[in-house]
Structure 1
């Protein structure tokens, strides 16, 4: 059985507070007594999308040193910037296309999907990512389960007010 840990929204911004928070989370995850196959970090790794923020994330998550006790898989969110993300976090050429990656384990695959829309807080999977998902799933062994991980919710999430509940502040209307 595939065992995954998951975090999101580190929002590293170069401040001591965000660094300490991320290091505390990392230390707790690295010390888990149970077996973990991988850590999923689903977006908003940086707060402003700068190379310095991604360099800090790479250091904290052990992406360059191999200090992590299990693979650390990442995908961008709306605060992330693709070119600096690729260059400083992943050590890849700084390009602006979607940052998608597939990771196959013994009993399942994890597809880290880029749902960021450059210049927007909104999220969506673009045609290039949809095509990549289709091709990647087609290449997997028949019957292999696949998990798609992304930053943004994959569908509209309604937030109805429970019947009879009244908020004294008047929200939601």
Structure 2
């Protein structure tokens, strides 16, 4: 397919708001700590550098990974790494529950990525791209583990979408 006619990637529609929140928290932390240190008369260049480094670390921790999807491909970009998995060549899908639930997707090329399932729930277009690729993987016979995980996730996304439609229409 020609690059000029390829569809643009679908992204997490809430990522920019989360990135702004991370930026605001890091700036507020850096500003407040510097002002308190300055007001106490203990601000030195080394301490200002310390507050700057801590603010940057806070930003890196709070910044969520950016999830994008194209036909046959799912990409997760964090502050330090970029992971890509081919959804039309998936081998396994695992979901880990607990304090931070996450999906682990692995493809036939050895690529692996982790993803928060709430991103898929909040972004039906991302879910559609993943589901379409997983269906191709099943047809090709590469997806050996995780069809039940995808089915449960699909039902949950469908239920939440239907509930949102009913709520928006005033029927609930």
Same fold (TM over 0.5): no
Q: TM-score, normalised by structure 2?
A: 0.28
Q: Which one has a larger percent helix, Structure 1 or Structure 2?
A: 2
TM-score, normalised by the number of residues in structure 1: 0.28
Higher strand share: 2
